[in-house]
């Protein structure tokens, strides 16, 4: 049985007030027990978020990490440091980082391994651009991104991996993939995983991301291969985010 996961990726947004508002809302809301909820704030808010969410079931994630444990990398943050702040999850390969910071599949893999090495669970983000979709290359692109990382992991790491399918054209655009479009690609990711291990494929947790909101979440989450969501814009609105969490239960 795959446990649903709803992850709120705040990106470079938020404030101390927003952290507190979420802390209060999570303390009062009844979050469905089987759903795991994670908030990924910018680094400076991690400590405040840890305190604000302490008496709630919500856990913490980070948006990236540097593959090294320490050293001369001005401006970077390591997995070891994140672990000290109680971070349980980290994104690797978000399309904004692949595009704006030119992160390659190899660098994404290095981040995944670094996360595992300190006991943080990586969420590998994959997805095609509109041009790639229009050219009919969606599955090739997505399975290349998935395969580069998954093929290099050992079975235990594969078991602990979460994959987020985020079509680049749907991120922050208000244009969501239809439930059928998302399901088709996510079923392909699961089939690919079955090539390694059939049982493991059944356990692999797959999230959809890309303009998921309180109105479309239920239909997306009802798809057979969608086990949760990676939410950007709607994760900054307390009521909307809690509504999404509730629709996953």
Question: Binding ligand PGA by CB under 6 A: which of 6, 37, 90, 171?
Answer: 171
Nearer to ligand PGA, 114 or 244 (CB): 244
Determine the Cα–Cα distance for residues 213 and 175; give it in Å rounded to an integer.
Answer: 11
Instruction: Give the CA angle between residues 132, 133, 136 to the nearest 5°.
Output: 90
Contact 29, 242 (CB under 8 A): yes
Contact 70, 80 (CB under 8 A): yes
DSSP structure class, residue 151: T
Instruction: Give the CA angle between residues 173, 43, 153 to the nearest 5°.
Output: 80
Footprint on residues 199-218 left by ligand PGA (CB under 6 A):
209-212
Site string for ligand PGA, 4-23 (x = CB under 6 A): -----x--------------
128 binds ligand PGA (CB under 6 A): no
168 binds ligand PGA (CB under 6 A): no
- Among 108-116, 195-203, 217-225, 230-238, which window interacts with ligand PGA (CB under 6 A)? 230-238
**Annotated catalytic residue: which of 69, 132, 166, 219?**
166
CA-CA-CA-CA dihedral for 82, 85, 86, 89, to nearest 10: -30
Question: Binding ligand PGA by CB under 6 A: which of 128, 166, 227, 240?
Answer: 166
Reply yes or no on whether 166 is catalytic: yes
Q: Which two tokens stand for residue 228?
A: 């949760």
Residues at the interface with ligand PGA (CB under 6 A): 9, 166, 171-172, 209-212, 230-234
């Amino acid at each position: 049985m795959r446990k649903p996961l709803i992850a709120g990726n705040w990106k470079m947004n938020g404030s101390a007030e927003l952290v507190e508002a979420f802390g209060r809302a999570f303390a009062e809301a009844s979050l469905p027990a089987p759903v795991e909820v994670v908030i990924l704030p910018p680094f400076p808010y991690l400590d405040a978020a840890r305190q604000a969410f302490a008496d709630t079931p919500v856990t913490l994630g980070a948006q990236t990490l540097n593959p090294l444990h320490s050293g001369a990398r001005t401006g970077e943050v390591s997995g070891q440091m994140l672990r000290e702040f109680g971070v349980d999850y980290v994104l690797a390969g978000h399309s904004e980082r692949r595009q704006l910071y030119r992160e390659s599949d190899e660098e994404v893999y290095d981040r995944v391994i670094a996360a595992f090495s300190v006991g943080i669970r990586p969420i590998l983000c994959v997805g095609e651009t509109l041009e790639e979709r229009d050219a009919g290359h969606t599955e090739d692109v997505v399975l290349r991104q998935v395969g580069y990382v998954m093929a290099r992991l050992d079975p235990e790491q594969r078991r602990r991996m979460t994959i987020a399918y985020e079509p680049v054209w749907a991120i922050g655009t208000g244009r969501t993939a239809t439930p059928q479009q998302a399901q088709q690609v996510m079923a392909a990711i699961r089939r690919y995983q079955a090539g390694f291990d059939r049982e493991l494929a059944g356990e692999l947790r797959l999230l959809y991301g890309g303009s998921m909101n309180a109105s479309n979440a239920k239909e997306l989450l009802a798809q057979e291969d969608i086990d949760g969501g990676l939410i950007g814009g709607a994760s900054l609105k307390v009521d909307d985010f809690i509504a999404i969490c509730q629709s996953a239960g």
